[in-house]
Amino acid sequence: MQTQLFIGGQWRTSSTDSTFDVFDPATGELIVAVASASADDAEAACGAAHIAQQQWAAVAPREKAEILRRCFEIMHEHSDELARLIVRESGKPLADAIGEVGYAAEFFRWNSEEAVRIRGSIGTAPSGNNQIIVRHPPVGVVVIVTPWNFPAAMITRKLAPALAAGNAVVIKPPAETPLTALRLAELFAEAGIPDGVINVTPTADAGTWFDAAVEHRATRMVSFTGSTATGQKLLRRCADRVLKVVMELGGNAPFIVFDDADIDAAVAGAITAKMRHSAQTCTAANRFFVQAGVVEEFTTKFAAAMRAVPIGPGLSAGVECGPLIHEAAVDKVEGLVEAAVVAGAKIEAGGHRLDRPGSFFEPTVLSNVAFDSPITREEIFGPVAPIITFTDIDEMIDHANDTEMGLIGYVFTRDLALGLNVSERLQAGMIALNRGAISDPAAPFGGMKQSGLGREGASDGIYEFCETQYIGVAY
């Protein structure tokens, strides 16, 4: 298990010899100490990336594509190892971790195909005096900052298109889950990524590290996934140097069930949308709007399904709900539930932290939740589902949109016209219609409003890591 910094193709200790501890959220036990990058290390990584990027950009698109395809293959060859490492440091159930590795690898396959399809254009100016050539060169050095909930996928969703476009990167994985990132760096070097093109620098001092990274003259872009509050701070910092940014931020997803919906399908979709990675995802359903005619049936069936979700350490057989990332997360969720009950909500399932080692909270369903209840105002990031009854569709949509977040929404109805109409009226970058999952490397992932800027995935994703250059030619 690598625990050092990966800079310029070499493993090295922190310039200050400092380290930080990584813990298993299922037990609270120490896994290992990891080198903590300093400001000097951030500068060294950006410098190494700058040198390597100029050579990597000159590599033929087909050659880059073949190397990225090998990254896809090597992730699958090490799928079980990577999945178990993800479980160990993040706590997610093994089945979720195996799914994450496959999803994460797919970004390399997709972008290996996109690497040879970065298109420009040529045309004649209206005056007829010159030709207009438009091309899309790489940005340069990209700083990538990722969250703990998807230790592999949140890296590859940014890394693969960045590399395909011809950039070099400096990655700061989260302090909670740095081990997967370090192992991926090792594997990608084996796959043929040249030294310095990928640099991985975990740190316990994120603010100091980020200041140094964005101040480096070679840094031209920041790609970040995390909370909206942190994203706002990073945006302000990036503005000082007018850096290009892509930000995938928080969510407050509505999950809407109409009277005509297939309730069993809606319940299955709700479990998927709520409970993926123990409900610790930005795409998790956060507010359940259920039409009055089916609210009793949906609540009864959903509560029964939530009570049946097996809870435990991620490596235990059959577990579908692992621990939250740390005790502070449990404290937050517990406080939200208690405040909702005081405001009039009724606990239909769960509602309590578990008295056992690790940071566990029961899958929970709350009924009789008001439109303006405090629990509907923020991202829960835990296994709690507040159900809000509605009768008027227009009023419900107004409340669904009454948030600064706009990442994703879920709609269940048998009426396609109704489903599409509501989907178009929801202020969210992605809509899942009659399904509980939506992420796909072939689709543009991203949000509206304070849920982010830019898109990841699809053909859109690679152009985020490109500039647009126009050349006027007279001949």
Active site (catalytic) residues: 248, 282
DSSP 299-359: HHHHHHHHHTS-BS-TTSTT--B---SSHHHHHHHHHHHHHHHHTT-EEEE--SB-SSSS-
**Sequence-ordered list of residues with C-beta below 8 angstroms from that of 62, at least 6 positions apart, any chain:** 115, 116
Neighbour tally for 120: CB within 10 Å:
13
C-alpha–C-alpha distance, residues 407 and 386, integer Å: 18
Distances (CA, A) of 429 to 242, 253, 349: 25, 11, 31
Residue type, 13: T
Sign of CA dihedral 396, 402, 403, 407: positive
C-alpha–C-alpha distance, residues 34 and 32, integer Å: 6
Q: Beta strand pairing status for 384-390 and 219-225? A: unpaired
Residue 333 structure tokens: 């969720």
Residues shown for the chain = 475
C-alpha–C-alpha distance, residues 340 and 347, integer Å: 9
CA atoms in the 13 A half-sphere facing the CB of 71: 35
Give the residue among 389, 380, 289, 396 at the shortest CA–CA distance from 337.
Answer: 380
Residue type, 67: I
